[in-house]
Amino acid sequence: MRCPFCHLDEDRVLDTRTAEGGYMIRRKRGCTNCNRRFVTVEKIEQLTVRVVKRDETREPLEREKIRRGIERACSKRSVASDRIEQVVQSIESQIYNEYEDEIPAKEVGRIVMSHLAQLDEVAYIRFASVYQEFHSADDFIREVTGLTKRPIATK
């Protein structure tokens, strides 16, 4: 691995740990030339599922977009960042298990909403209001009513 500071290919691994439920490996490395430390991440490279947007364009599924959407919905809520990471991992796993090549954007949103409903109800309503393009208070009332009629999920 090339050092990001001195750009030489002379380093040693100081520590190795698994992350994201064993789907990633984080390695702490030390450069033998400049003695600086840096971290590298190894991740399983999967064939990318493409998201089919409303206008029929296609783009690769981006884990970071899912994470940003969930973080935005959970803003100022007491949801731990490691719990958000678990939900993102679960969503990504579900998509890769159920879809091989393409997934409609509406389906990605539905999957995210189903996970958010179990994670945090307020975050769910926030996400749903943007994703489903609420236009009035009636839209909110309808969604909250539907949410309260669901069986209570254990967190």
Q: Give domain status of residue 23, yes or no.
A: yes
- The b-or-e profile of 23-44 (16+ CB within 10 A means b, else e) is eeeebebbbeeeeeeeeeeeee
Domain assignment present for 131: yes
Q: 37 and 56 share a domain?
A: no
140 pLDDT above the threshold of 90? no
How many angstroms separate the CA atoms of 147 and 145, rounded?
Answer: 5
Local structure of 17: helix, strand or coil: strand
Q: What would the pLDDT profile of 142-155 be if each residue is shown by its tens digit? A: 788 777 776 655 44
pTM score, whole prediction: 0.63
Dist CA 41 CA 16 (whole Å): 10
Q: Based on the domain organization, do 36 and 68 belong to the same domain?
A: no
For residue 62, what pLDDT is reported?
Answer: 92
pLDDT band at 3 (very low <50, low <70, confident <90, very high): very high
